[in-house]
Structure 1
Amino acid sequence: MTFLIIGILLFLVSLGLSRSEEPARRFASTARSIGIAIAMVGIFTSCIIQIDAGHIGVKKLFGKVQKDVLSSGLHFINPLLEIEKMDVKTQNYTMSGVHDEGLKTGDDAIRVLTADGLEVTIDLSVLYHVITNDAPMLLQETGTDYEDKIVRPITRTRIRDNAVYYDAVALYSTKRDEFQQRIFKSIESDFKQRGLLLENLLVRNITLPQSVKATIEQKINAEQDAQKMQFVLQKEKQEAERKRVEAQGIADYQRIISESLTDRQLQYESIKAQLEIAKSQNAKVIIMGKGNTPVILDSKNQ
């Protein structure tokens, strides 16, 4: 467009020079030729436009948005058209409490009130993209700053609206997936009406109040202590059972032995023991008395 304007201006200047006196009239033909050449270059470059991959071109003619869009590639267009290039790739909008992690500087986490009246802080990432066929509507009704006008306010509002149905602890633990699916459905509907497609909604972190954290930690510690004590009691029961079985085995052994022993068996065992003593170097003579108890003379005392 710039070349076209310059060419037209040179052409007009050449017309003025043609009506002037010498020697300026001599440059009129040259200026006319240069002006026409530059205008032609301007027309040619204005008719050709390249759309990069992952982008589309929305056409505007004198401020009015056209319904059809240009896909990626090289296009020959009306030189009077103004092309607004829009990104249709997946975009990530993060709201985080960590400094410089989200798109806004500083703490940009979402603070919500739960059903039990506690304030919970949520870090969230929104994955979405512009719907190609709805891009002209989006540009006309919202503009190119749709992140600040649609993505951010709708997401934060829907999260606050749905968080009131959950207790803080449930939102942090058992109901987290359910909460994420619920806000996804509500945000998806709002986005689609405005020309955006919600791909995914990632609840990155849920931070509970410090008092609730302390209570949860105490509960976990108590449960761990109870499990530990249960293990100790189970171990003691197993040890008591082992000792009972061992005692029962000893008692059964003694009962069997006592039932099987006779006087002759005892006399035989006594003789075997005396023979072993007689073989010992410490005993010299064994004198059998009339009773059941032998008299052993030690050779060291002779």
Structure 2
Amino acid sequence: MEKLPKAGLVAIIAVVLLIIVILKSSVVIGAGQAGVLFKTLGNGVDLENTYGEGFHIIAPWNDMIIYPTRQQSVSDKMQVLSVNGLEVKVDATVWFQPEYDKLPFLHQEKGTQYESEILAPAISAAARSVVGRYTPEQLYSSKRDVIQQEILEEVQKELKTQYVIVNRVLVKDVTLPIKIKEAIERKLKQEQESLEYEFRLTKATKEAERQKIDAEGKAVANRILSASLTDKILTEKGIEATLMLSQSPNSKVIVIGGSESGGLPIILGNQ
């Protein structure tokens, strides 16, 4: 009777140990994640394999470190200097993800805090390098897309051998000192007003030229018409008009030899 309780106790202990072993040996890697295996009794990090999504069985004394592999983002507000030494605040967001096949190397060399260890410093260095090439006016107006692309290229170059893929950089805001910003806005307003004045002046000049050309054309046409109207042509046109009037059915009186009409008949009509 005494052996049964001992046997039951052993069985319970065995079951508990088995459950602990199973729990320690089973690993579930979720969607958008990958695992790196650390072999406690072996050579440390398994550099040959990256463990994908799903259920995995490992030795209970080993450890599976799980990393998110989906695209992630990190935002940072940095204070950098422009080309002429003025302080500029840049608010940027970077989209990145770890290189899947190189995840064991990333874990071994950089660790789970790789974002703060290598990514953030690379972004900061790239922003300082790129913004330092431009004046505040360029940063304020039309250079944001160019800056984004250049920061992206700088970060990609910096992290090329660091097992991190940088997909995109977005510069959300570039903040200049208030006085510099106001000065730039005044300058831009003056330039806009100057361009508007030049446009109006050009338009008025073109309209004056058009009117001049139109007037010259009319003057030339009048000179040509005046030169072509000789006395014979006028007499001929008068005869034609007289004949047309004489053929009309209305009653009329025709006076021949009117001196004031250049010798043409004068027709006096009554209805």
Structures share a fold, TM > 0.5?
Answer: yes
Matches within 5 A, 1:26-45: 27-45=5-23
Match of 2:113 in 1: 145
Give distance in 2, aligned partners of 1:195 and 1:266: 99
Deviation per residue, 1:183-221 (Å, 9 max, x gap): 333322332343322222233444552321331232133
Structural RMSD (CA) = 3.7
- Could you say if the C-alpha distance between residues 276 and 234 of structure 1 is closer, same or farther in structure 2, counting changes exceeding 3 Å? farther
> In the alignment, is the contact (CA less than 8 A) between 1:278 and 1:286 conserved in 2?
no
Aligned to 2:73: 92
Asked if 1:258 corresponds to 2:230, the answer is: yes
- Sort the Cα spacing of 1:216 and 1:88 in 2 relative to 1 into closer, same or farther, 3 A: same
Amino acid paired to 2:33: H
- Closer, same or farther: CA 121–275 of 1 in aligned 2, 3 Å: farther
Tell whether the 8 Å contact from 2:50 to 2:103 is kept in structure 1 after alignment: no
| Counterpart residue number, 2:186 | 214
**1:78 deviation in Å?**
0.7
Aligned counterparts of 1:289 and 1:278: Cα–Cα separation in 2: 23
Once residues 168 and 196 of structure 2 are traced to their aligned partners in structure 1, the CA distance between those partners, rounded to angstroms, is 37
CA distance, structure 1, for counterparts of residue 175 and residue 230 of structure 2 = 74
Instruction: Return closer, same or farther for 1:93/1:241 CA change in 2, 3 Å cut-off.
Output: same
Whole-Å separation in 1 of the counterparts to 2:36 and 2:193: 60
The residue matched to 1:78 in structure 2 has which SS?
Answer: coil
1:220-235 → structure 2 map (5 Å cutoff): 220-235=192-207
Letter in 1 for 2:51: S
Normalised to the residue count of structure 2, the TM-score between the two structures is: 0.75
User: Does the 8 Å CA contact 1:155/1:187 hold for their aligned counterparts?
Assistant: yes
Q: Aligned pair in 2 of structure 1 residues 117, 212: CA closer, same or farther (>3 Å)?
A: farther
Q: 2:271 matched to 1:268?
A: no
AA aligned opposite 1:219: E
| 1:270-297, Cα deviation, whole Å (9 max, x unpaired) | 74598599958xxx86666774469999
CA spacing shift, 1:112–1:222, aligned 2, 3 Å: farther
Please tell me whether residue 189 in structure 1 is matched to residue 161 in structure 2: no
Q: TM-score, normalised by structure 1?
A: 0.68
Corresponding position of 2:62: 81
Q: 2:211 aligns with which of 239, 255, 265?
A: 239
1:58 pairs with 2:58 = no
Q: Which stretches in structure 2 are left out of the alignment for 5+ residues?
A: none
Deviation at 1:79, TM superposition (A): 0.9
> Which of 1 and 2 has higher RCO (CA within 8 Å, sep 6+)?
2
- Residue 71 of structure 1 corresponds to 51
Cα shift readout 1:129-172 (whole Å, capped 9, x = no counterpart): 11234434433454323333332233123211332222223345
SS at match of 2:213: helix
Report the Cα distance in structure 1 between the residues aligned to 2:112 and 2:133, rounded to whole angstroms.
Answer: 34
Report the identity percentage.
22
Q: Which amino acid aligns with 2:32?
A: G
Contact 1:188 1:198 in 2 (8 A): yes
Amino acid at match of 1:229: L
Runs of 5+ consecutive residues of structure 1 not aligned to the other structure: 1-21, 96-108
| SS in structure 2 at match of 1:261 | helix
Distance 1:261 1:255, change over 3 A: same
Q: What pairs with 1:258-297 in structure 2 (closer than 5 Å)?
A: 258=230, 261=233, 264-265=235-236, 268=239, 271=242, 279=250, 291-292=259-260
Aligned residue pairs, count: 261
Counterpart AA for 1:250: N
